[in-house]
């Protein structure tokens, strides 16, 4: 598309006032597009302004009074006036859109429900899907042609079929395709991603040259919101009835012995350490959470750091059309955005459930319901061919399927019986 064609095209850019969205808007305008900045308001403005202006509020606020903005990453809008000023400097239009209810219904409530159930939820994948759809709806209302965000990813369009695919960015360190993996083909057709071929360091240079008063980013580009924060439990308490937060027991997985009581499984996730019982007692520092059992409110813990998996099941999968699923496919799986992709083979079962067999066993503790994105390679421009949620994971070794190390040592006769049983298991 040449510049004269672009001049007749309008793009809505999701604006936060931070570095990436601002440079995205600048580059699209420089390319000739008519650009309009749109800020999606997902938080209560009054609370945010009070936090910024009232020092007494900061000092008096209890840990339990944790608003959403303090647990999110770099994508929320906390200063509309500053974003509007940035848009004016860039000479582009500006709109604010109230998205608080949708954000609550489709992101916050889902996250809270998952924590109460002791399973995982990736809020960033859900959040980006929600925000992209809101931008697309606004684009239709304003008769705009495209939307855009400051994500580091690429969109490839097959000129023969018109089908779009999402690819990883050239800057593999900052690649954010994982966070956009749930976008549909129809959505991708209407999205422009100007950072697909640009390194983050070059984007930073462009931002510096603009000499704008940008809102600083408090978290890293690939950091997941609502995670690794001790205040999540307190936040869940403010968003759920007390009847859904039952107390339970810490149980040593190996010897099946109680190690104390806890105030609710919503406070924990696999891998958590520095565990504290309801009475304030600190558990042995070697303990970490294995998993949370919702029905019994048991948090299983272990001192064993040698937990592996080499096969897992994915449920609720969405796959790219026209994939030959009649035989195993070599793929790469990404479970955590800052990890390396895991190579292996996927076999598609009935109902689009997937078995993934890793080429090498992985020393990693996973959580049920965790999102996993499937790529066709681990190179620059790797294509996303599907995604799903982890329903189970195993380590298959010596004829045995194991999720976690055996709590008790088994006799040779029992091992042989289990091995025979494993041979007949349908997996």
Catalytic residues: 127, 225
Is beta strand 371-375 parallel, antiparallel or unpaired with respect to 146-148? Answer: unpaired
**78's tokens:** 């906390």
How far, in Å, CA of 322 to CA of 158, rounded? 13
Quick one: DSSP state of residue 214?
P
**65's tokens:** 């009074």
Q: What is the CA radius of gyration of the chain?
A: 24
Measuring CA to CA, which residue among 377, 425, 385 is closest to residue 181? Answer: 385
Measuring CA to CA, which residue among 245, 233, 304, 239 is closest to residue 269? Answer: 233
How far, in Å, CA of 297 to CA of 133, rounded? 37
Phi first, then psi: what are they for 89, rounded to 5°? -65, -35
Name residue, tokens 């998993």: 291
* DSSP-assigned beta bridge partners for residue 191: 147
Is beta strand 329-334 parallel, antiparallel or unpaired with respect to 308-319? Answer: unpaired
59-84: buried (b, 16+ CB within 10 Å) or exposed (e) per residue?
Answer: eeeeeeebbbbbbbbbbbbbbbeebb
Beta-carbon count within 10 A of 182 CB = 18
203-241: buried (b, 16+ CB within 10 Å) or exposed (e) per residue?
Answer: beeebeeeebebbeeeeebbbbbbbeeeebbbbbbebbe
How far, in Å, CA of 187 to CA of 281, rounded? 51
> What SS3 class is residue 329?
strand
* DSSP-assigned beta bridge partners for residue 6: none
Q: Are 178 and 44 in contact (CB under 8 A)?
A: no
Name residue, tokens 């308490």: 237
């Amino acid at each position: 598309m040449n510049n004269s064609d672009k001049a007749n095209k309008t793009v809505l850019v999701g604006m936060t006032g931070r570095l990436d969205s601002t440079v995205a808007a600048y580059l699209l305008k420089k390319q000739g597009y008519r650009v309009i900045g749109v800020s999606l308001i997902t938080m209560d403005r009054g609370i945010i302004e009070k936090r910024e202006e009232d020092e007494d509020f900061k000092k008096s606020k209890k840990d339990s009074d944790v608003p959403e903005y303090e647990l999110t990453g770099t994508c929320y809008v906390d200063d509309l006036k500053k974003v509007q000023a940035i848009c004016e400097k860039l000479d582009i239009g500006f709109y604010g859109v109230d998205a608080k209810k949708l954000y609550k219904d489709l992101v916050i409530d889902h996250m809270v429900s998952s924590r109460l159930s002791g399973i995982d939820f990736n809020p960033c994948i859900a959040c980006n899907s929600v925000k992209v759809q809101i931008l697309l709806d606004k684009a239709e209302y304003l008769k705009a042609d495209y939307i855009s965000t400051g994500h580091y990813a690429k969109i490839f369009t097959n000129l023969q079929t018109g089908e779009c695919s999402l690819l990883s960015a050239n800057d593999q360190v900052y690649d954010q395709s994982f966070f956009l993996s749930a976008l549909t083909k129809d959505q991708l057709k209407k999205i422009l991603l100007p950072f697909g071929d640009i390194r983050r360091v070059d984007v930073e240079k462009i931002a510096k040259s603009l000499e704008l008063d940008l809102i600083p980013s408090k978290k890293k580009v690939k950091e997941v919101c609502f995670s690794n924060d001790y205040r999540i439990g307190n936040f869940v308490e403010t968003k759920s009835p007390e009847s859904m937060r039952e107390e339970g027991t810490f149980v040593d997985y190996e010897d099946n012995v109680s190690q104390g009581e806890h105030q609710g499984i919503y406070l924990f996730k696999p891998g958590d350490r520095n565990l504290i019982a309801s009475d304030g007692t600190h558990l042995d520092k070697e303990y970490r959470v294995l998993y949370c059992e919702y029905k019994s409110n048991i948090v299983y813990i272990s001192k064993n750091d040698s937990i592996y998996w080499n096969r897992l099941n994915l449920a609720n999968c969405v796959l790219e059309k026209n994939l030959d699923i009649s035989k195993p496919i070599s793929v790469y799986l990404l479970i955590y955005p800052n990890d390396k992709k895991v190579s292996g083979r996927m076999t598609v079962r009935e109902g689009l459930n997937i078995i993934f067999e890793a080429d090498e066993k992985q020393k990693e503790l996973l959580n049920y319901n965790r999102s996993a994105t499937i790529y066709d390679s681990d190179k620059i421009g790797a294509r996303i061919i599907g995604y799903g949620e982890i329903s189970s994971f195993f380590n298959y070794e010596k004829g045995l399927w194991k999720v976690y190390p055996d709590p008790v040592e088994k006799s040779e006769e029992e091992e042989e019986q289990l091995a025979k049983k494993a041979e007949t298991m349908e997996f």
